[in-house]
Structure 1
Amino acid sequence: MQTPSPATVPAPPGFTDESWAAFARDGILVIEDALSPAVVADLNDAVVRHGEDNPLHIVADDERFTELIDHPAHIGFVYDVYGEMLKLLRSEYFRREPGTIVRNSWHFDGPRPLPFSVFTGALPLRIKAAYWLTPLPTAGMGNLVFIRGSHRWDFLPEYQTHEPHPQEERLIVRPGALTLMWSGLWHRVDVNDSDTTRQNIFLEYGPSWVVTSDRQLAEPAWAAELSRERRILMRAYEEANECIKPPARDVPLYAPRDAGSAGSHPHYPDHVPLHLRKFSTPVEQRKWV
């Protein structure tokens, strides 16, 4: 017989039919007021106190960043796509000072010679969740510049330049906004001609068998002190194969949201343990692939 699952926390809400359709079409989803003003203030303070420009693996540096590993405002969305194999691949923040001219030119996230889109066109192999901590009411404030639907494009003539594109848009949001971005979306960063330092946090997720890009391995002793869900999402496995075959204690990651939620396929006999079964993600169950 199966060992009872240690998972007791259901996954927070994620995509609706409408929001998934928009994300799949545009490669970006904007959710205003995802964080409260108090949380935004705490995170802004953590960024300022940390002091470095563009540090990596920030979730291990400050408890306020640690709490973002499985923040309910975004974790349900990425769980919908990656399910039981969900992993945090990268965490970082950016500070765009006034007068910033040198910044990221047109690019897409992921490997360059053989991009992720070669392996799957239906779903992203990485999703970047971003929290915007300072006001972005107008252009020229270090805004994210992007092209809707360009996650389906292999090439962009303006690649590695700041040349304008006729379909480009600038992200205009309030502090506390959340964006979800498909890894292949073409984007760049605007100049900052304002008197405000633009601050934001990026958390990137994917399946556990995709390599991390901010660490070789999270410190196991630190990860062991995290909550069960955060520990699993860090995948601080000393045995590399466990990123492909998670240990029994880590499956399932979340308890079912409801009776119709994703789970293991019902045709498995009882003697097959949960961690060896094929689980359906919400994206699969809703036939969004």
Structure 2
Amino acid sequence: MEQTCLQYALTEEERKAFEETGYLIVENALSPEHVAALTNEVDRIFDENVKAGHDTTKALFHPNFIPDHEMFLDLVDYEKILPKVWGILGWNIYLYHAHMIVTPPTGQQPTDKTFGWHQDSGRMNVEMESEPRPRMSIKVAYFLSDLTEAGRGNFWIVPNSHLNNSMNRPESGSGQLEGAIPVCVKPGTAVFFDRRLWHSASPNWSDITRKVLFYGYGYRWIRTKDDMTVQSLWSKADPIRRQLLGAGTNCNGYYTPTEEDVPLREWLKEYSPSQVK
């Protein structure tokens, strides 16, 4: 990892916005050329799934995509984004979850049916006792499609809802949560969001296919959320990338890490000591 990444560190303004709203939008995180190259690989994977029987009117949820191409792997420690991730969560982190979503047009007319609103992490939201529940993890979504208009399968959120353990849903089953908005962004945008932020996918009523890459970062003592096979990439990765791909010296090292377990901490001690706690 190069010291040049520090120019993309989380600013105090960004920290404040994320803490208050539960999300952060970073425009131009990916160049148009980068978006085009990633889109080619996403299209290839989607076409392979279609040939295997995937219904083209339904969204493709494709986890464990990091080993599918080196470009996906390179985003794990992407210099424009990773400094903001550790700025929010700290240094004892790794990629605990990753999934690609391709949402083709449904061919249906828009409705006001209530979306599937939720917080991430499943049982974590039932079994943790605090109010609000702890953050634990965040996601970074890289948008490859033009979602500057609503109705294109946009990701919906309720800003400032991440500190609420529950939300009132419309009893009629129509309409969205109070304060809900679609995230309308251009290709190349990265959106950070707290796992507790109330959010939902939405139907794609447009003629544009929505393509997004999600990278979930959490503390190293959290289990992976999908059957990741990134262990095969450890041998060719540098120390910090190995940490982010889940490597460690032993089980206890995830809870009480040594220098070998968390090279990111050692790197920060040398180049940005103010970020080490």
Q: TM-score interval w.r.t. the shorter chain?
A: 0.7 to 0.9
Q: With structure 1 as the length reference, what TM-score do the two structures score?
A: 0.79
Q: 1:248 is matched by which residue type in structure 2?
A: E
Which is further off, 9-18 or 132-141? Answer: 9-18
- Alignment partners' CA distance in 1, 2:83 and 2:32: 21
- Alignment partners' CA distance in 2, 1:114 and 1:259: 34
- Alignment partners' CA distance in 2, 1:180 and 1:11: 18
Q: Does structure 2 retain, via aligned residues, the 8 Å contact 1:69–1:230?
A: yes
DSSP 3-state at the match of 2:230: coil
C-alpha RMSD of the superposition:
2.8
5 Å matches for 1:194-209?
Answer: 194-209=206-221
- Alignment partners' CA distance in 1, 2:187 and 2:33: 11
- Alignment partners' CA distance in 1, 2:174 and 2:224: 28
Q: 1:78 is matched by which residue type in structure 2?
A: V
After superposition, the Cα gap between the structure-2 partners of 1:81 and 1:165, relative to the gap in structure 1 and judged at 3 Å, is closer
Q: What is the CA distance between 1:61 and its match in structure 2?
A: 1.7
Q: Does structure 2 retain, via aligned residues, the 8 Å contact 1:218–1:236?
A: no
Q: Which runs of 5 or more structure 2 residues have no equivalent in the other structure?
A: 50-59
- Alignment partners' CA distance in 2, 1:146 and 1:19: 18
- 2:184 alignment partner, one of 168, 172, 182: 172
Structure 1 residues 199-223: Cα deviation after superposition (integer angstroms, max 9, x where no partner)? 000000011011111236632x421
Q: Which runs of 5 or more structure 1 residues have no equivalent in the other structure?
A: 1-6, 264-279, 281-289
- Alignment partners' CA distance in 1, 2:80 and 2:136: 20
DSSP 3-state at the match of 1:47: helix
Q: Does structure 2 retain, via aligned residues, the 8 Å contact 1:33–1:176?
A: yes
Q: What is the CA distance between 1:242 and its match in structure 2?
A: 2.3
- Taking every aligned residue pair, what percent have the same amino acid on both sides? 27
Counterpart residue number, 2:28: 33
Which is further off, 187-196 or 199-208? Answer: 187-196
Q: With structure 2 as the length reference, what TM-score do the two structures score?
A: 0.82
Is 1:181 aligned to 2:193, yes or no? yes
- Alignment partners' CA distance in 2, 1:44 and 1:113: 33
After superposition, the Cα gap between the structure-2 partners of 1:8 and 1:181, relative to the gap in structure 1 and judged at 3 Å, is closer
Q: What is the CA distance between 1:94 and its match in structure 2?
A: 0.3
Q: What is the CA distance between 1:32 and its match in structure 2?
A: 1.1
5 Å matches for 1:195-234?
Answer: 195-215=207-227, 218-219=230-231, 221-234=232-245
Is 1:56 aligned to 2:63, yes or no? yes
Higher fraction of helix:
2
